[in-house]
Amino acid sequence: MTQRLHLVFGGELVDPQKTVFRNVGDIHIVGIYPDYKSAYNAWKAEAQRTVDDAHTRYFIAHLHRLRDEEAAASATEELGD
């Protein structure tokens, strides 16, 4: 069975029209979730909590899309061997 992990994170943006964080060191990692529904619920809670701050935005990253076991290893992965 394939795990479909999702990362929920967010923070203050330089400009609410873009996706550039003001300070990467201050990014809020909400958590990693085993399915999209759980991640969406966590994202929604954080988005609603910060709704009055136009510069704060939260995102869901599909971690399972970053790693495909069937694909050949990249040069970066090979460096670790």
Taking 80 as the threshold, does the pLDDT of residue 1 lie above it? no
Residue tagged 């399972």 (tokens): 64
Please state the pTM of the whole predicted model. 0.78
Extents of the domains making up the chain: 1-20+30-48+56-67
Q: In this structure, which amino acid lies at residue 25?
A: G
Higher pLDDT, 76 or 46: 46
Confidence of residue 81 (pLDDT cuts 50, 70, 90): very low
Vertex 32: Cα angle to 30 and 36 (nearest 5): 105
CB 32 within 8 A of CB 11: no
When pLDDT is averaged across residues 24-40 and rounded to a whole number, the result is: 96
pLDDT, tens only, 36-54: 999 999 999 999 999 999 9
